Amino acid sequence: MLEALLDAFPTLALLAWEPPGWGANLARGLVNSVQIALGAFALGLVIGTAGAYGKLYGGPVTRDLLAVYTTVVRAVPELVLILILYFAVTDLVNQALVSFGYARVQISGVAAGIAVLGVVQGAYSTEVLRGAILAVPSGQIEAARAMGMPPVTLARRITFPLMLANAVPGLANLWLIATKDTALLAIVGFAELTLQTRQAAASTKAFLTFFLAAGLLYLLVTLISTFLFARAEKWARRGQRGGQA
Amino acid sequence: MSRGFWQPHRIVLIGLAVLLALWCGWALRWDWLPRYLPLMAEGIWRTIWLLAVTVTLGFLLAIPLGLAQAAGPWYLAAPARSFCTVVRGTPLLLQLWLLYYGLGSLFPQYPWIRESELWPYLRQAWPYAVLALTISFAGYEGEVMRGAFKGVPSGQLEAARAMGMPRFTILRRIWLPQAIQRALPTLGGETVLQLKATPLVATITVIDIYSVASRVRQDTFIVYEPLLLLALVYMAITGIIVLVFRALEARVPSRVA
């Protein structure tokens, strides 16, 4: 079966794990991609939580500044933002280091990628989480306040568990966007899956084989994540009346 | 918006923004601008052209995709659904490179393609850009149209059927207009997303506004100024798209209860 397949499509042998196959390279690229997506998603959640609270409960200046942040990030292509932030962040860090008397550093691709995509994700998750918090019945929050619950406990015990069910579908979408946006880092020369694929394809001239294989890997990530997020939503909706759980 | 737009802190913020813009104009280097202005105009035109063409074609493709998923038999619904899943599950950059490098390396192997009338076009990059962007838009919008077709109240369709309207006329006069009306707000958002996807075509040598900015960076070693201007251009186009769709939504008569 496998041999017949290899006879029909000899380029499939290039996907083998060991050199001369490029399987290990693709796998390394996939790990890099997932790593960056995870980091960016987590950073985006942190920014998004702060942003959502700022937009809902912050003062007028905070609110307007956050509105500018989310509007600008959502209106400018990710590719342009990645370039601006990539150059600007590297530049600023180095200027700060030099002015404090340290040597310049080369920022690692992973850190820069996570920072840049995290800022982009933060804008989107601000909106998702804001909507989810708004959907929490206000009576619940008022009751907790009336009981004298401190704000952090209120967030941890009341707001977060109740908003989670509303936030999961939007966050699932954001996670899928994060995994796909890692491909953009190929353009700043970071060796994630898409760039590894392109290098493998360019040096073997088996373009279709490699791009289809990479597409399959991305699709696999998407399908697995979709499944896991569906489970997560079911879990978050446990105890809700009329839920599917 | 009950308290009005011009509050004191906003005036201060806008003042600060104006100062920042003035500082950018004064302190940053803009001397390259006149030389590259014609090229930039061309790039903006190419970007808008790509956007308009792919959104139109993609939307036309999305209608059958949505219809097949919402009401089609399984042998139409299943391929439509897997098409949408695959397109939405893989990065656009990968799809673009798959089409450009993959198909581009496949075609020259067949002499009959090289001798055909289409060959002069297939050798260029933009047909692949249009194809990839169209497919991507159709994939995302097909999912939206599925929901929109399903969202049309069944009473409307039943009434049309009861009047003895032929099926195609129902689609043309009742089902499709109401579905499009439902999809319009999402369509506006998807169009902005599509605009944000267009700079990817620069990676396959199509000269859009993004690649003009990259060229300025490579020619003059000026990093920030072209990128800032680029961000401004995209924000302006986004603003125009939002306004156009707001006007469209206002033009379509809203639902009567």
Q: Which residues touch B138 (CB under 8 Å, ≥6 apart)?
A: B57, B58, B59, B61, B62, B65, B87
pLDDT exceeding 70 applies to what percent of chain B? 97
| Structure tokens given for B17 | 């923004």
Are A64 and B9 spatial neighbours (Cβ–Cβ below 8 Å)? yes
Q: Cβ–Cβ of A80/B231 closer than 8 Å?
A: yes
pLDDT over 80 at A194, yes or no: yes
Cis preceding-peptide flag for A20 (omega within 30 of 0): yes
pLDDT digit string, tens, across residues B12-34: 888 888 888 888 888 888 888 88
Closest in B89, B197, B234 to A218, CB measured: B89
Q: Which residue has the higher pLDDT, A122 or B256?
A: A122
- CA distance to A93, A111, A125, A172, B87, per residue, from A44 (Å): 21, 14, 6, 13, 24
Res A243: pLDDT: 47
Q: Which residues touch A180 (CB under 8 Å, ≥6 apart)?
A: A218, B90, B91, B92
Q: What distance in Å separates residue B165's CA from the closest CA in chain A?
A: 39
Structure confidence at residue A242 as a pLDDT band (50, 70, 90): low
- CA distance to A119, B51, B198, per residue, from B45 (Å): 30, 10, 12
Res A1: pLDDT: 67
Question: What average pLDDT does the segment A72-98 reach?
Answer: 84
pLDDT digit string, tens, across residues A119-177: 999 999 999 999 999 988 889 999 999 999 998 899 889 888 888 888 888 899 899 99
ipTM: 0.83
Buried b (16+ CB within 10 A) or exposed e, A109-143: bbebbbbbbbbbbbbbbbbbbbebbeebeeeebee
Are A182 and B94 spatial neighbours (Cβ–Cβ below 8 Å)? no
Q: Cβ–Cβ of B234/A80 closer than 8 Å?
A: yes
**Distance between CA atoms of residues A184 and A188, nearest Å:** 8
pLDDT over 70 at B215, yes or no: yes
Helix (H, G, I), strand (E, B) or coil at B69: helix
Task: Tokens 């804001």: give the residue.
Answer: A130
Task: Find chain B residues with C-beta within 8 A of A223's C-beta.
Answer: 85, 89
Are A197 and A210 spatial neighbours (Cβ–Cβ below 8 Å)? yes
Q: Which residue has the higher pLDDT, A14 or A225?
A: A225
Class in CATH terms, A6-236: mainly alpha
Task: Find chain A residues with C-beta within 8 A of B90's C-beta.
Answer: 180, 215, 218-219, 222
Are A56 and A41 spatial neighbours (Cβ–Cβ below 8 Å)? no
Q: Could you write out the DSSP letters of every residue in B98-135?
A: IIIIIIHHHGGG-HHHHTSTTHHHHTSSHHHHHHHHHH
| pTM of the model as a whole | 0.87
Residue A52 exposed, middle or buried by CB count within 10 Å (0-12, 13-18, 19+): buried
B210 close contact with A: CB closer than 8 A? yes
Q: What distance in Å separates residue A147's CA from the closest CA in chain B?
A: 32
Question: What average pLDDT does the segment B141-152 reach?
Answer: 91
Res B3: pLDDT: 62
**Distance between CA atoms of residues B214 and B192, nearest Å:** 22
Average pLDDT of chain A? 86
**Distance between CA atoms of residues B125 and B112, nearest Å:** 20
Are B209 and B196 spatial neighbours (Cβ–Cβ below 8 Å)? no
Which of B24, B97, B217 is most worth mutating to test chain A (most A CB atoms within 10 A of its CB)?
A: B97
- CA distance to A17, A163, B198, B255, per residue, from A175 (Å): 28, 18, 22, 35
Question: What average pLDDT does the segment B89-93 reach?
Answer: 91
pLDDT over 70 at B139, yes or no: yes
Structure confidence at residue A244 as a pLDDT band (50, 70, 90): very low
Task: Tokens 């083998």: give the residue.
Answer: A16
Are B122 and B107 spatial neighbours (Cβ–Cβ below 8 Å)? yes
Q: Cβ–Cβ of B197/A77 closer than 8 Å?
A: yes
Q: Which residue has the higher pLDDT, B45 or B254?
A: B45
> Which of B100, B87, B66 has its CA nearest to residue B194?
B87
Residue A173 exposed, middle or buried by CB count within 10 Å (0-12, 13-18, 19+): middle
**Distance between CA atoms of residues A122 and A181, nearest Å:** 14
Q: Cβ–Cβ of A75/B10 closer than 8 Å?
A: no
pLDDT digit string, tens, across residues B35-77: 889 999 999 999 999 999 999 999 999 999 999 998 889 999 9
Structural domains in chain B plus CATH codes: 32-251 (1.10.3720.10)
Helix (H, G, I), strand (E, B) or coil at A237: coil
Helix (H, G, I), strand (E, B) or coil at B213: helix
Q: Which residues touch A104 (CB under 8 Å, ≥6 apart)?
A: A94, A97, A98
pLDDT digit string, tens, across residues A163-178: 888 888 889 989 999 9
- For B102-223, where are the alpha helices, taking DSSP H only? 104-106, 111-114, 119-122, 126-151, 154-162, 167-170, 176-197, 209-220
Question: What average pLDDT does the segment B108-128 reach?
Answer: 81
Task: Find chain B residues with C-beta within 8 A of A75's C-beta.
Answer: 192, 234-235, 238-239
- For chain A, where are the alpha helices, taking DSSP H only? 2-8, 23-57, 60-75, 78-99, 109-134, 138-146, 151-154, 160-181, 193-204, 207-236
- Cβ pairs bridging A and B (under 8 Å): 116
